[in-house]
Amino acid sequence: MKPTDQTMTPAASFWNDTGRSGIASWIFSTDHKRIGLLYFFSVFGFFLVGVVLGLLIRIELMAPGRTIMGPQTYNALFTVHGVVMVFLFIIPGFQGSFGNLIMPIQIGARDVAFPRLNLFSWWLYMAGAAIILTSLFTGGGPPDTGWTFYLPFSGRTGTNVSLAVFGVFVVGFSSIATGVNFVTTIHRLRAEGMTWGRLPLFVWSLYATAWVQILATPILGITLVLIIAERLLGTGLFDPGRGGDPLMYQHLFWIYSHPAVYIMILPAMGVISEIIPVFARKPVFGYKMIAFSSLAIAAAGSLVWGHHMFTSGMSDTAVLVFSFLTFVVAIPSAIKVFNWVSTLYKGSISLEAPMLFSLSFIFLFSIGGLTGLIQGAAATDIHVHDTQFVVGHFHYVIFGGSGFAFFAAMHYWLPKFYGRRYAEKPAIIAWALMSVGFNILYFSMIVLGLEGMPRRYYDYLPEFAPLNLVSTIGSWILASGLVLLLVNLVRGLRSGERVGKNPWGAATLEWSIPTPPPTENFEEEPVVTHGPYDYRGAGIP
């Protein structure tokens, strides 16, 4: 984990300056930077686990019939892939890692408002993850319900659903704790002169996200409790045989889980809003609209859960209303895209790895968003519902969107904390491999879905075979790019070229302090005198 030697006097950076030593200096640290790195390594570890599972699913689907596993294993695999990716990687990912690493510095604070709660939420996250992992190897075996745990099936299957659900519940608590911590921090700990109008856009996006975490996660909590009650006590609240209504389960689940996609995507958009102006060397276009659209997405996005249930038997009025609201959310999302593109216009663009990943983000997220509209319109959704189209769509959004923003953030910010950087050329090759592989992998799924291949199916008709093979080959190209990215990043951070305070020439506060940052970030309380994208005020190295 640690850089092999230090760029600055050893005692001054957060790598050294701590009372404890060894592993204890990490897992008991209340320093937001150490907690941020803990989160980073844990969520990224789970991402890699999820990727391996995804590749296995793809290998099974490479050819019709049985390829490498049986149907029960397949069901467990896509369930665990979904649970790991959603609850252990992408939901906690940004807030936990880059939120913790960057946000306090960007607002000029020494730490978050509740440092011990911050550490506790990492512990909760790890405890929840451990419970989920335990559920795979004990009881009736890994859950096979899909990550949505739909009742009544999840109430009846003999697999280890209760324990997995309990693990997700614990992870939810961790998410709530982070949300509470971040809202309080952003309200209370901004440095002098850091007005709301000077808040970096990444912080704005984390702020909106934290509200979603606070207001939506408890609904997931109660929904999970109800699954466990259903299994252990036989409450029958969603069992039509005993007067319950499975549709009510879907409502409760999506009241959380649709807003949860904004927990995944909003911070990613924040990352992009930081990177684009820096690499276009221009103040971001429409600062206020980008900040406002984060809040608008969070607010409007809380009202659209019903679009997951168009085909489940809702009233026509409900379908109409949810369809309309879904289209409303597209407006603030599009505002952001237009603002990024306008920022690029006539900028002096430098195409380094963080920028390339950000451009891919815009491209892939736009495809994800447009395919989302196809599902938001009830009429077309009936055609594509529960097909591979849906799988293609959400991978474009959460992997092409949030995932690529995560890679952008890794290249952009990690050098700040290690004092060394990756090599540029391999980073660009990795980016190219991943972007190409990604589109081969998931665009095939979109087409397969339009042709009628259902999702979560172990086997398929022979006419779907060619595109499935193409898709699987795409997954290998993507994976090879990912391996290259990792090797390059690890080598760079251990022994790459040293970086100074402000290698990118950015104007936000984190680039004004030493690299790697000292334990308390700022030698003296900073006083903010210019906006986050005001490059005249920034010292360019």
Partner 1 sequence: MSHQTRKDPAGAKLGMWLFLFTELFLFGGLFLLYGVYLARYHREFAAAGREMHLGFGTANTVILITSSLLAAMAVTAIQRSGRRLVLYLLGGTVLCGAVFLFNKYLEWSDEIGHGIYPGSPRLAAGPPGESVFYSLYYLTVGLHGLHVLIGGTLLAVVAARVGRGTIHAGDFAWLENGALYWHLVDLVWIFIFPLYYLVL
Write out the residues near partner 1 by the rule CB under 8 A: 19, 30-31, 110-111, 113-117, 176, 179-181, 183-184, 187-189, 214-219, 221-223, 225-226, 229, 233-237, 242-245, 248, 252, 519-520
How many other β-carbons are positioned within 10 Å of the β-carbon of residue 177? 23
Nearest-angstrom CA–CA distance, 414 and 44: 13
Nearer to Cu ion, 258 or 416 (CB): 258
Binding of residue 393 to Cu ion (CB under 5 A): no
Nearest approach, Cβ of residue 259 and Cu ion (Å): 9
Q: Where are the beta strands (DSSP E) in 384-514?
A: none
Cβ pair 186, 207 in contact under 8 A: yes
Nearest approach, Cβ of residue 499 and partner 1 (Å): 26
What is the number of alpha carbons within 13 Å of residue 169 lying toward its C-beta? 15
Binding of residue 260 to ligand HEM (CB under 6 A): no
Q: Please name the residue that has the structure tokens 């369809």.
A: 323
Binding of residue 456 to ligand HEM (CB under 6 A): yes
Binding of residue 410 to ligand HEM (CB under 6 A): no
Helices and strands in the chain: count of H runs, count of E runs: 18, 0
How far from each other are the two terminal CA atoms of the chain, in whole angstroms?
27
Residues 6+ apart with CB under 8 A from 56: 68, 69, 77
Nearest approach, Cβ of residue 437 and ligand HEM (Å): 8
Binding of residue 155 to ligand HEM (CB under 6 A): no
Among 32, 58, 198, 258, binds Cu ion (CB under 5 A): 258
Tokens of 305: 């859960």
Nearer to Cu ion, 268 or 434 (CB): 268
Nearer to Cu ion, 264 or 513 (CB): 264
Binding mask 457-476 for ligand HEM (x = CB under 6 A): ------------------x-
Cα radius of gyration (the chain): 23
Residues 33-92 within binding reach of ligand HEM (CB under 6 A): 50-51, 54-55, 57-58, 78-79, 81-82, 85-86, 89-90
Cis peptide before 152 (omega within 30 of 0): yes
Binding of residue 190 to Cu ion (CB under 5 A): no
Nearest approach, Cβ of residue 529 and partner 1 (Å): 24
Nearest approach, Cβ of residue 242 and partner 1 (Å): 5
Nearest approach, Cβ of residue 14 and partner 1 (Å): 11
Inter-helix orientation angle 353-376/246-280, to 10°: 150
Among 39, 125, 147, 504, binds ligand HEM (CB under 6 A): 147
Output the DSSP codes for 84-116: IIIIIIIHHHHIIIIIHHHHHHHTT-SS-S-HH
Which of these ranges, 181-189, 258-266, 457-465, 484-492, lies near Cu ion under the rule CB under 5 A?
Answer: 258-266
- With CB under 5 to 8 Å by kind, the binding choice for 233 among ligand HEM, partner 1, Cu ion, none is partner 1
Residues 370-399 within binding reach of ligand HEM (CB under 6 A): 391, 395, 398-399
- With CB under 5 to 8 Å by kind, the binding choice for 258 among ligand HEM, partner 1, Cu ion, none is Cu ion
Binding of residue 395 to Cu ion (CB under 5 A): no
Cβ pair 389, 446 in contact under 8 A: yes
Binding mask 270-309 for ligand HEM (x = CB under 6 A): ----------------------------------------
Give the amino acid at 446.
Answer: I
Output the DSSP codes for 218-265: HHHHHHHHHHHHHHHH---TT-GGGT--HHHHHHHHHHHHHHHHHHHH
371-389: burial string, b at 16+ Cβ within 10 Å, e else: bbebbbebeebeebbebbb
Nearer to partner 1, 104 or 503 (CB): 104
DSSP state of 61: T
Nearest approach, Cβ of residue 110 and partner 1 (Å): 5
Nearest approach, Cβ of residue 537 and ligand HEM (Å): 37
Cβ pair 282, 341 in contact under 8 A: no
Nearer to Cu ion, 15 or 254 (CB): 254
- With CB under 5 to 8 Å by kind, the binding choice for 391 among partner 1, Cu ion, ligand HEM, none is ligand HEM
Tokens of 409: 């953030």
- With CB under 5 to 8 Å by kind, the binding choice for 399 among partner 1, Cu ion, ligand HEM, none is ligand HEM
Best CA proximity match to 310, nearest among 385, 241, 203 = 385
Nearest-angstrom CA–CA distance, 181 and 304: 27
Nearest-angstrom CA–CA distance, 169 and 163: 10
Nearest approach, Cβ of residue 73 and partner 1 (Å): 32
Output the DSSP codes for 185-211: HHHH-PPBT--GGGS-HHHHHHHHHHH
Tokens of 541: 């190295």
What is the maximum alpha-carbon separation in the chain? 70
Nearer to Cu ion, 258 or 385 (CB): 258
Binding of residue 416 to Cu ion (CB under 5 A): no
Nearer to partner 1, 161 or 364 (CB): 161
Nearest-angstrom CA–CA distance, 364 and 375: 17
Nearer to ligand HEM, 409 or 509 (CB): 409
Nearest approach, Cβ of residue 185 and Cu ion (Å): 29
CA distances from 92 to 134, 172, 267, 411 (A): 20, 9, 11, 19
Nearest approach, Cβ of residue 431 and ligand HEM (Å): 15
Residues 416-455 within binding reach of ligand HEM (CB under 6 A): 455
Interaction site with ligand HEM (CB under 6 A): 50-51, 54-55, 57-58, 78-79, 81-82, 85-86, 89-90, 146-147, 391, 395, 398-399, 403, 455-456, 475, 478-479
Q: Binding residues for Cu ion, per CB under 5 A?
A: 258
